[in-house]
Structure 1
Amino acid sequence: MHWDRLYFRQCMRIVPQKAAPPSRKKPIFPVSEKLRVYLKNYGREIILPIEYQDLIHFTYARPLIDKDGQETAWEQVSYDMREWEFLKDGLLKCYAILKTEGDYSFAENLNVERIDFCSFGNSQPFRIRIINVNNGNYDHFYIKKADANRIYGLEWEHLLATSRVTFFTYGQTLIEEHIAGIPGDIFIRDYLESPDTNKVRLLKTFVKFNESCFIRLLGDMRSYNFVVDITPDIEGTQYNIRAIDFDQQCYEGRLRLYLPQFAKENYPIVKEVVKHLDSESIKQYQAEERSRTAYRIATERYRVRELMDAMLPDELSSDEKIEQLKYELANYYHNFRFVKARTMGKILKIHLKQMLMPSMRSVLKNAKGRNRQL
């Protein structure tokens, strides 16, 4: 039986305490003191030359038009000239912090070409476009409101996903590097049915991405919240799907919102999975992802433990959503331990053990075997 149909049948047996609808707008949850200590210990919390509030007071905004002449969700903003020099200098220093560990000696080669603002995002981000004046090459980074869910999501991405991510916090400000790739919705529209697309390799990657999001309870991975990175290989092409929106880390109450396979925006890919991959292959790819994640946890076990300790008491969602998720997971796994959880952090800890413990045992057993050989 195919993965989606099997899971739909399992979901029919779930009876949560109270069903909560999907969130339209997630509130910002503040950074706790324990999380702040963790960020400082690992070099994430540093003094930044500019803060989110410095960018709020723009004087003019106009819709940003894409290459097809259509309005986007972003607005291009302008500032008073008296503030611009301060902002420009601070933004270039932020970029240097992200890219060259604060080495500002290359500042003469760089300029701030554009600042975009998106009022629809939960963190109301500013997107900064940096250009190299010598060759015209450009890059982006983001300045956002510091939200605890997003910070935890970014850190779990850094520790457990296939690619590392660079970000820093300062008070109520968060700066992030740009994650390159083709937005998922554009990939589905323009590339999915292309004869050059190796569908089996792409679908394998999507199955693993789906499993990864569920393992760490990263929600709302609709097509426009992830990107597809295409890499030419010796024979054919490799694909990597990366999340770009981390606001829904351990926030939603509905279990299905943590599985990208159930987002209607992702249906074209899911349909291809059902068509091209047999159930045994899907199980294999899921097992590979669980094993890879277990190895990452074993490698970063001390840092993972400290992150989890900060997360356990943290307020990351409403009581209603916590109650719904823990009962849905308890029914799904037939595991009563979920019911005792009082926070999203505790739910995630139990969930990681539930999904990864068999793989962790194998990882530790193999490690002990290698140590004996040495």
Structure 2
Amino acid sequence: MMKYVHEFNTKIVYGMSVENHNHISRKKNVYAVSKSFKKYLKRYGREIQLPISYESLRHFQGAMPCYNKNGEDTLWETVFYHQSLTREIHHALIRIYSLIKAAGANQAEDHLHVERIDFCVFGNSQPFRVKVVNNYNDVYSYLYIKKADASRILGLELEHLLSPYYINYLVDNDTLIEEHIAGVPGDMFIDGFLHRPDFNPIRIAKEFVKFNERCFARLLGDMRSYNFVFDITQDFDDVQFCIRAIDFDQQSYEGRKNFYLPQFFKENRVFVQLVQQHLNAEVIEQYRQEERAQLFKRIKSQRHRLGDLKASVDKDELAPPEKIKQLAQELAQYFGNEKFLKCDSMAEILRIHLRELVVIHLYKT
């Protein structure tokens, strides 16, 4: 029996104290985007000049709590600007919407308007959320404006290259624009969707195993239930599920190996229970093998771009030195590979980790 499958089935013992699960000890550092990383982003169409910056949006005059349709506080605040600036700000935001949605084509901008700008003071990125509405049919979309952070942008780029999903984002110096990722947040899915009689729990368990494998392979951490969403699709004979990450703040940042495994967060306990109830070790390994095979295909098809990405961030500071050392030691012990111990950057750890878990390990099984 493979060690990782054994971990999935035996090391999560429910009823134990919270201290045995993953937790975040303190707020994450924000790292500037280096010149070499900016050069990469510009080469691949991610870095462009934007009409407004994150810091400009911080100069709002007032705010009021934002409630959901059930009257509950969402922890977001709707912000307001001086009347003389509002029109200019809204015009700039609609232009950004056009840049990220339609590659800059401005034909549709005349029939769009900004309905609301929300600000979240919690979390590392302290994002603005902009609601853009079509005047003709009231259909709306969201975009997010955040302070640019090198590890977060690396996470977005890896999601675009190594996951089954495309990601739209733009960067301009210290400003990051992200497209909204639609889906049901994992914590809401647990409360309102998980036990629906038309939802097959085996399919949910299968997708969690694949998501768990995908996060570990590309070292995306902190995938608690509210940091990923369920994309639910009605197929002709059943309901299909896909799990998508929506928060890339903890890409290659923490030092603990288990922090990159969603199975070790107490918020995901119910999904691990589904896996244990409905999947045996052989089926779990089959799904992990399938995900590794897909990752291998993506790595092969994107090898030149991934090489450029690795070179652009190879010497960048993406995490504190003590976290780099800890993760290198834990992965070296886990894989029995001392090459990790020679790594002095998160980019180098990630390169060896992908090779060990996906390229080499795939052909050992």
Pick the TM interval, shorter chain: over 0.9
CA contact (8 A) 2:292 2:362 kept: no
CA contact (8 A) 1:225 1:245 kept: yes
Q: Within the alignment, does 1:96 sit opposite 2:79 as a pair?
A: no
Q: Within the alignment, does 1:25 sit opposite 2:27 as a pair?
A: yes
Aligned residue among 320, 341, 344 for 1:342: 344
* Offset at residue 185 of structure 1 (A): 0.3
Which residue identity does 2:102 align to in structure 1?
A: T
* Offset at residue 359 of structure 1 (A): 6.8
CA contact (8 A) 1:3 1:282 kept: no
Using the alignment, how far apart are the partners of 1:175 and 1:360 within structure 2?
Answer: 36
Q: Within the alignment, does 1:127 sit opposite 2:119 as a pair?
A: no
Equivalent residue for 2:48?
A: 46
**C-alpha offsets along residues 81-131 of structure 1, whole Å, 9 cap, x if unaligned?**
111011011000000001111111111210000000011121110000000
Equivalent residue for 1:176?
A: 178
Q: Within the alignment, does 1:4 sit opposite 2:12 as a pair?
A: no
How does the TM-score come out when normalised to structure 2? 0.93
Using the alignment, how far apart are the partners of 2:251 and 2:41 within structure 1?
Answer: 17
Using the alignment, how far apart are the partners of 1:103 and 1:38 within structure 2?
Answer: 24
Q: How does 1:215-364 map to 2 (within 5 A)?
A: 215-358=217-360
Using the alignment, how far apart are the partners of 2:189 and 2:12 within structure 1?
Answer: 26
Which residue identity does 2:64 align to in structure 1?
A: R
- DSSP 3-state at the match of 2:79: strand
- DSSP 3-state at the match of 2:132: strand
Which residue identity does 2:109 align to in structure 1?
A: A
Which residue identity does 2:52 align to in structure 1?
A: I
Which residue identity does 2:323 align to in structure 1?
A: K
CA contact (8 A) 1:2 1:274 kept: no
* Offset at residue 301 of structure 1 (A): 1.0
Using the alignment, how far apart are the partners of 2:72 and 2:156 within structure 1?
Answer: 31
**C-alpha offsets along residues 201-243 of structure 1, whole Å, 9 cap, x if unaligned?**
1111110000000000000000000000000101101111000
- DSSP 3-state at the match of 2:108: helix
* Offset at residue 68 of structure 1 (A): 1.3
* Offset at residue 361 of structure 1 (A): 6.6
- DSSP 3-state at the match of 2:182: coil
Aligned residue among 62, 68, 72 for 1:66: 68
Greater displacement, 247-256 / 351-360: 351-360
Which residue identity does 1:174 align to in structure 2?
A: L
Aligned residue among 200, 203, 207 for 2:202: 200
Equivalent residue for 2:19?
A: none
Which residue identity does 1:221 align to in structure 2?
A: M
Which residue identity does 1:278 align to in structure 2?
A: N
CA contact (8 A) 2:132 2:142 kept: yes
Equivalent residue for 1:15?
A: none
Using the alignment, how far apart are the partners of 2:111 and 2:23 within structure 1?
Answer: 49
Aligned residue among 33, 55, 58 for 2:57: 55
* Offset at residue 76 of structure 1 (A): 0.6
User: Percent identity over the alignment?
Assistant: 49
Which residue identity does 1:269 align to in structure 2?
A: F
Using the alignment, how far apart are the partners of 2:68 and 2:103 within structure 1?
Answer: 32
Structure with higher RCO (Cα < 8 A, 6+ apart): 1
Aligned residue among 105, 113, 118 for 2:107: 105
Equivalent residue for 2:85?
A: 83
**C-alpha offsets along residues 23-81 of structure 1, whole Å, 9 cap, x if unaligned?**
43111100011100100110100011111111000111111111111111211111111
Which residue identity does 1:289 align to in structure 2?
A: E
Using the alignment, how far apart are the partners of 2:301 and 2:112 within structure 1?
Answer: 37
Equivalent residue for 1:13?
A: none
Which residue identity does 2:113 align to in structure 1?
A: N
Using the alignment, how far apart are the partners of 1:361 and 1:41 within structure 2?
Answer: 34
Q: Per the alignment, do residues 163 and 324 of structure 1 end up closer, same or farther by CA in structure 2, a change over 3 Å counting?
A: same
CA contact (8 A) 1:295 1:360 kept: no
Equivalent residue for 2:156?
A: 154
Equivalent residue for 1:34?
A: 36
Which residue identity does 1:200 align to in structure 2?
A: I
Please list every run of 5 or more consecutive structure 1 residues that lacks an aligned counterpart in the other structure. Answer: 10-19, 363-374
Which residue identity does 1:148 align to in structure 2?
A: A
CA contact (8 A) 1:3 1:279 kept: no
- DSSP 3-state at the match of 1:323: helix
Please list every run of 5 or more consecutive structure 2 residues that lacks an aligned counterpart in the other structure. Answer: 14-21
Using the alignment, how far apart are the partners of 1:313 and 1:224 within structure 2?
Answer: 32
- DSSP 3-state at the match of 1:26: coil
- DSSP 3-state at the match of 2:250: coil
CA contact (8 A) 1:22 1:254 kept: no
Using the alignment, how far apart are the partners of 1:272 and 1:122 within structure 2?
Answer: 31
